[in-house]
Amino acid sequence: MRGLHADTGYLMYRLGLRSGQLFNTFLQESGLRLRHYALLRFLATSEGTLQRELSTRLGYDPSAIVGLVDDLEKLGFAERRPSPDDRRSRIVVLTADGRGFLRDTDEAGLRVTNELLDPLDATERETLHTLLQRVAEDGLT
């Protein structure tokens, strides 16, 4: 019988947990968690996104998105606005304070990633990133 660490899916799961723990530790001072950070990073790539699309794109339950956006609004990092295409719908937009928070956390985020990937050299890290992108594009879109 194969050992547990021979299972790639399990290793990815464990690394995901470890990555989440490291990111949550670094975010702890701000009162945010990795889910907030992921939402902010996603919003930084758009001019505004419908809440229901955030749920789909990030893989979070719609009710979780509502709470996350509420938290980010309270901090002034995001705001809800009427959709220009449908006034009944709301888009979520990153604010200037949200962009500032992301800029301020860039270095800490890189430190977390570097700690997680410490056993790998630069070429291995680039290869891993490329492979993960390929898997994510196929399986997470």
Q: What is the pLDDT along the chain (141 residues), one digit of tens a residue?
A: 677 778 888 998 999 999 889 888 888 888 899 899 999 999 999 989 998 899 988 989 999 999 999 999 999 999 999 988 887 888 999 999 999 999 988 888 888 899 999 999 999 999 999 999 998 887 555
Give 80's DSSP letter.
E
The torsion angles phi and psi of 78, rounded to 5 degrees, stand at -150, 160
Task: Report the interhelical angle of 96-116 vs 34-43 (nearest 10°).
Answer: 120
Q: pTM higher than 0.75 for the full model?
A: yes
- Long-range interactions of 15-24: CB distance < 8 A, separation 24+: 15/116, 18/116, 19/112, 19/116, 22/112, 22/115, 22/116, 23/109, 23/112
Q: How far apart are CA 120 and CA 124, in angstroms?
A: 6
Angle at which helices 34-43 and 62-75 cross, to 10°: 80
CB within 8 Å of 73: residues ≥ 6 apart? 79, 80
Q: Do you know the residue count of the chain?
A: 141
pLDDT at 1: 62
